[in-house]
Structure 1
Amino acid sequence: MSTAEHAETNRRDFLYIATGAVGAVGAALTAWPFINQMNPDASVLALASVEVDLAPIAEGQEITIKWRGNPVFVRHRLAAEIEAAKAVPMSDLIDPLARNANLPDGDQATDVNRVVGGKEQFLVMMGVCTHLGCVPLPNQGDYAVVEGSEKHGGWFCPCHGSHYDTAGRIRKGPAPQNLAIPQYSYLSDAKIRIG
């Protein structure tokens, strides 16, 4: 192979590589608007966190808010609900894990590990059954506290019969896990931010 042929080959290889590189950059720049439009818009990003005022929630009352398209239960528990949850031996639980996004993954599902900041009167958890994603009904099920003729705390998913106790832990039925606790923090004694 002569020097002229070798130079021609190198120049041709360079032109092929340069053309391919320019084509790849052009394809990426052309595709970018289509890829970028798949990012969440401002309205979705605004739902990334939500603040909840706890002051109007009376003892024994529960509210449901929407966060990231899912229901979140915020319950002001009665003392009887807290005591019932604390009295449950860990060996009685189907799911021994806290499932609390505010704690390390392996923490036990004690009542204290199901709340944040030691404020045991407020239980904040995702309102989505861990079996098939239904929404459990509050103040129902075999593990609600009965005072007089009323049930307090506890959740029941009528779709397939999952029963959750007063700390949102699965106790009976096909659901494999406790109701998840989202990441949240206290902004003050009467206000939280979820997310």
Structure 2
Amino acid sequence: MNNEGVDKSKRQFLTSALTVVGAVGTGYIAVPFLAQMQPSVKAMAAGAPVEVDISKIEPGQLLRVAWRGKPVWILNRTPTVLETLKTLDDQLRDPLSQESIQPPSTKNPVRSIKPEIFVAVGLCTHLGCSPTFRPEIAPKDLGPTWKGGFFCPCHGSRFDLAGRVYRGVPAPTNLEIPPYRYVSDTQLIVGEATEGASA
């Protein structure tokens, strides 16, 4: 083949133009493909921290909120409940919460940052059922030793009002404590750890 009459600048221009068109076309194909790999707005919101106003929770009352698709309980414990928690250690599987999932800021006997406000994921650690809040003392169906707590109707697991599991029930560990922190005395954020702690 004879290349004498070929305009090399024209060939180079056509090659460059074709490369640019190919790159733009690849970009138009790649952008939607990569965008669909990002989590949806709904998914991002489901995992986002939740701010909760605790000012209206009366002593003895339980507030339920959702975080990451899970129920989270916020309980305002009375001074009587806090005193009762001190008497239950011999009935509990892990009274010191050594095998529990909880932030370092809640590694204490009451498993909370502020003693009166208890925050926990409301799912049984056995099979993930949601226990019921049973604050009454010694109801007939739970027996004379019941001092109030959370009862899982699925398989009978029992937890005290610090989310600690009783001995002899199917649940292997205490209720999970999510990361949380206080913004003020009346506001807390579930899903964010306190300063200096990791989530």
Taking structure 2 as the reference length, the TM-score comes to 0.67
Match of residue 61 from structure 2: 61
Change (3 A) 1:31 1:153: farther
Q: Matches of residues 75-86 of structure 1 in structure 2 within 5 Å?
A: 75-86=75-86
How far residue 33 of structure 1 moved from its aligned partner, in angstroms, is: 4.8
> Given the alignment of the two structures, is residue 115 of structure 1 paired with residue 112 of structure 2, yes or no?
yes
Percent identity of the aligned residues?
A: 39
Taking structure 1 as the reference length, the TM-score comes to 0.69
What secondary structure sits across from 1:72 in the alignment?
A: strand
> Given the alignment of the two structures, is residue 189 of structure 1 paired with residue 185 of structure 2, yes or no?
yes
For the Cα contact (< 8 Å) 1:75–1:123, is it kept in 2?
yes
For the Cα contact (< 8 Å) 2:99–2:173, is it kept in 1?
no
Residues 39-48 or 131-140, more deviating: 39-48
Match of residue 40 from structure 1: 39
> Given the alignment of the two structures, is residue 166 of structure 1 paired with residue 167 of structure 2, yes or no?
no
What secondary structure sits across from 1:74 in the alignment?
A: strand
Alignment gaps of 5+ in structure 2: 1-25, 140-145, 192-199
Match of residue 12 from structure 2: none
Structure having the higher Rg: 2
Residues 94-103 or 49-58, more deviating: 94-103
| Counterpart Cα distance in 1 of 2:100 and 2:70 | 17
| Counterpart Cα distance in 2 of 1:98 and 1:184 | 19
How far residue 146 of structure 1 moved from its aligned partner, in angstroms, is: 5.3
Alignment gaps of 5+ in structure 1: 1-26
CA deviations on 1:128-176 (whole Å, 9 max, x unpaired) are 0001100000016xxx6459xxx87400001100000111111041000
What secondary structure sits across from 1:171 in the alignment?
A: coil
Q: Which amino acid aligns with 1:56?
A: K
For the Cα contact (< 8 Å) 1:73–1:124, is it kept in 2?
yes
Match of residue 101 from structure 1: 102
Change (3 A) 1:136 1:45: same
Change (3 A) 1:30 1:138: same
For the Cα contact (< 8 Å) 2:84–2:147, is it kept in 1?
no
What secondary structure sits across from 1:82 in the alignment?
A: helix
For the Cα contact (< 8 Å) 1:164–1:171, is it kept in 2?
yes
Structure richer in strand, relative to its length: 1
Change (3 A) 1:65 1:77: same
**Count of aligned residue pairs for this structure pair:** 157
What CA RMSD, in Å, does the superposition of the two structures yield over aligned residues?
3.0
Change (3 A) 1:171 1:67: same
How far residue 79 of structure 1 moved from its aligned partner, in angstroms, is: 1.3
